[in-house]
């Protein structure tokens, strides 16, 4: 018989098959790394799914996240996409308390600061560093609220705890571990090389009290025979007195959404294999590129990201993604020759799609009278859509439900469409040729036209992020392109049809696969002991 464990934080029951009745207060553990991009986000997602599978009421948390990939919660709050992925792995609806501070860079030295889901103000890096003494209270408030609702909080660090120039008023790494009074596990990326030096060096640069919090190491992204690491692991454990909890192999066959940028191994070439070739322009300030993950996973699609100096190639579709600095990125497209390439692509019969900032670029012009994003003021767009955009000071952030606009003769999908808006511009159609109608914002019925579609149906844009997450619409869109190019569509009928690709179900299977591989290669008994759950 499975025992019932009662959380003193929530008073709710959950099951854990350890053979004893227990009362458990809310506990936490923090995953830190030797550097950025060592795999902290993915491992936190893995542990969220493992703990959920094992019956724990687990929630992810990252006090401070710097990313241009963001998401809008049900109540209109903006948060980092990595914590959305982790929330999904834990079976939870995203909540801004999981990521109380989001930093969205808009220049090389400045960023928009978002606190508890709302824009706080723009700050330079130096000004924000001084602001962290106050920001710690926002972090503490969110963490405290989570302790009252969940049994276990798994915390993700940011960058490295050994950045001694950032130690003062730290809220991202050891400063957060002190707030939570929790143990720390440090992750190193062996694929980059120098993992043992990175782990030892990180420990050496920590203060005594910080070192005492570190209870384990994880070596990530290993290729080859793990027995070859034995001498190195023995040295590491003797040198630091800290055990290695496991070695995670490098894997390519598990799909988890990226947080901060598009991995270079996804910048693939155009293929002549019968699939539809799609080029996504990798803008200097690209944001919310996860919009295109469902397309990338469709069997009938070959999607590539096109970086500076690379050719679009012979593709059927070009996508212009969202941008944190739309006018500057439009300027980049002009200067790099991509605007000319897009216009040639369209004249040859190709399809062009713009999402959010990309939608704005497809219009007649973008005007920034208050210099919210740039000092350039106004810039002519590509003129492929009859719309005009004005950048405004207030940001629109909301979850929406929508449908294909009634006069849209090119798309007839009758499914309810879901997505979210994040934009600081107002775009007006000059001809009323709208793409969608928003019928609900944050739970309230509305009737608001969105987006625009060209007279021939080959160019369209929208403010709705996540539009391709909608299986029925995505597959109808693919079928519209494939007959024109005499290409097969491997995804089958609409989402409820046999053989169709269901994106949400696909993501769930990927979280389970991720959990399985981490379970296999981590000493989970040691992990649970460190976490205080055994």
Query: What does pLDDT average to in each consecutive run of 10 residues of the chain (534 residues)?
Result: 33 40 76 95 97 97 92 94 96 97 81 93 89 93 97 96 88 96 97 95 96 98 93 97 97 81 50 80 92 90 92 94 93 96 96 97 93 83 96 91 92 85 91 93 93 96 96 90 53 44 93 97 97 90
Q: What is the chain's length?
A: 534
Q: What separation, in Å, do the N-terminal and C-terminal C-alpha atoms of the chain show?
A: 18
pLDDT at 463: 97
H or E segment to which residue 60 belongs: strand 58-61
Q: How far apart are CA 488 and CA 499, in angstroms?
A: 14
328 and 285 in contact (C-beta within 8 Å)?
Answer: yes
Locus of tokens 């005499």? 486
Q: How far apart are CA 102 and CA 174, in angstroms?
A: 18
Q: What does the H/E/C string look like for 97-143? A: HHCCEEEEECCCCEEEEEECCEEEEEEEHHHHHHHHHHHHHHHHHHH
For residue 218 the two structure tokens come to 């994880």
pLDDT at 487: 42
pLDDT at 7: 33
Alpha helices by DSSP H, listed for 8-107, are 40-53, 81-90
pLDDT at 488: 43
DSSP symbol at 164: G
With H, G, I as helix, E, B as strand and everything else as coil, classify residue 473. Answer: helix
Q: Are strands 365-367 and 387-404 parallel, antiparallel or unpaired?
A: parallel
H or E segment to which residue 340 belongs: helix 338-347
Q: What does the H/E/C string look like for 248-317? A: EECCCCCCCCCCCCCCHHHCCCCCCCCCEEEEEECCCCEECHHHHHHHHHCCCEEEEEECCCCCCCCCCE
Exposed e or buried b per residue across 462-487, where buried means at least 16 C-beta atoms within 10 angstroms of its C-beta:
bbbbbbbbbbbbbbbbbeebbeeeeb
Q: How far apart are CA 482 and CA 214, in angstroms?
A: 54
- pTM value? 0.85
H or E segment to which residue 208 belongs: helix 208-213
pLDDT at 257: 83
With H, G, I as helix, E, B as strand and everything else as coil, classify residue 24. Answer: strand
With H, G, I as helix, E, B as strand and everything else as coil, classify residue 411. Answer: coil
- Annotated catalytic, 356? yes
pLDDT at 371: 84
Residue in 285, 345, 423, 465 annotated catalytic: 465
Q: How far apart are CA 88 and CA 511, in angstroms?
A: 9
Locus of tokens 């302790």? 147
φ, ψ of residue 119 to 5 degrees: the values are: -65, 125
Please give the domain boundaries of the chain with CATH numbers for all domains: 25-255 (3.40.50.300), 268-498 (3.40.50.880)
CA of residue 258 relative to chain centroid, distance: 6
Give the up-direction half-sphere exposure of residue 417: CA atoms within 13 A in the CB hemisphere: 29
For residue 386 the two structure tokens come to 């009859």
Residue in 26, 356, 452, 521 annotated catalytic: 356
473 and 353 in contact (C-beta within 8 Å)?
Answer: no
């Amino acid at each position: 018989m499975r025992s019932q464990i009662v959380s003193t934080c929530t008073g709710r029951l959950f099951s854990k098959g350890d053979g004893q009745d227990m009362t458990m207060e809310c506990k936490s553990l923090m995953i830190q790394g030797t550097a950025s991009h060592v795999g902290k986000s993915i491992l936190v997602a893995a542990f969220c799914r493992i703990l959920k599978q094992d019956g724990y009421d687990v929630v992810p948390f990252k006090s401070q996240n710097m990313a241009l990939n963001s998401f809008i919660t049900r109540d209109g709050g903006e948060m980092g996409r990595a914590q959305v992925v982790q929330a999904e792995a834990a079976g939870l609806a995203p909540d801004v308390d999981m990521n109380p501070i989001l930093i969205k860079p808009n220049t090389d030295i400045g960023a928009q600061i978002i606190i508890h889901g709302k824009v706080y103000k723009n700050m330079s890096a130096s000004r924000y560093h001084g602001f962290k003494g106050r920001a710690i209270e926002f972090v503490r408030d969110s963490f405290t609220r989570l302790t009252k609702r969940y049994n276990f909080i798994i915390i993700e660090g940011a960058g490295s705890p050994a950045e001694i120039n950032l130690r003062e008023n730290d809220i991202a790494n050891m400063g957060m571990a002190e707030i939570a009074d929790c143990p720390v596990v440090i992750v190193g990326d062996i694929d980059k090389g120098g993992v043992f030096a990175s782990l030892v060096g990180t420990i050496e640069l920590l203060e005594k009290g910080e070192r005492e919090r570190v209870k384990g190491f994880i070596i990530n992204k290993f290729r080859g025979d793990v027995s070859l690491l034995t001498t190195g692991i023995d040295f590491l454990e003797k040198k630091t007195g800290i055990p290695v909890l496991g070695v995670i192999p490098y894997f390519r066959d598990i799909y988890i959404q990226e947080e901060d940028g598009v991995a270079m191994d996804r910048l693939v070439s155009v293929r002549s294999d019968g699939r539809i070739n799609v080029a996504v322009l990798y803008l200097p300030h690209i944001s919310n590129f996860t919009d295109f993950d469902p397309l990338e996973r469709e069997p009938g699609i070959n999607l590539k990201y096109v970086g500076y100096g690379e050719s679009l190639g012979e593709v059927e579709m070009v996508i212009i993604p969202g941008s944190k600095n739309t006018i500057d990125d439009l300027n980049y497209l002009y200067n790099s020759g991509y605007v000319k390439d897009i216009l040639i692509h369209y004249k040859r019969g190709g399809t062009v799609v713009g999402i959010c900032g990309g939608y704005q670029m497809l219009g007649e012009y973008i005007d920034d009278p208050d210099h919210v994003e740039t000092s350039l003021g106004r810039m002519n767009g590509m003129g492929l859509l009859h719309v005009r955009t004005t950048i405004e000071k207030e940001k629109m952030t909301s979850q929406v439900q929508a449908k294909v606009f009634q006069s849209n003769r090119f798309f007839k999908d009758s499914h309810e469409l879901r997505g979210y808006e994040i934009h600081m511009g107002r775009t007006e159609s000059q001809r009323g040729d709208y793409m969608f109608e928003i019928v609900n914002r944050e739970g309230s019925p509305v009737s608001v036209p969105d987006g625009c579609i060209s007279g021939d149906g080959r160019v369209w844009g929208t403010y709705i992020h996540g539009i391709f997450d909608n299986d029925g619409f995505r597959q109808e869109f693919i079928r519209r392109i494939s007959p024109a190019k005499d290409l097969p569509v491997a995804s089958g009928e609409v989402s409820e049809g046999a053989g169709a690709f269901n994106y949400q179900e696909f993501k769930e299977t990927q979280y389970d696969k991720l959990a399985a591989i981490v379970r296999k290669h981590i000493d989970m008994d040691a992990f649970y002991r460190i976490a205080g759950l055994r």
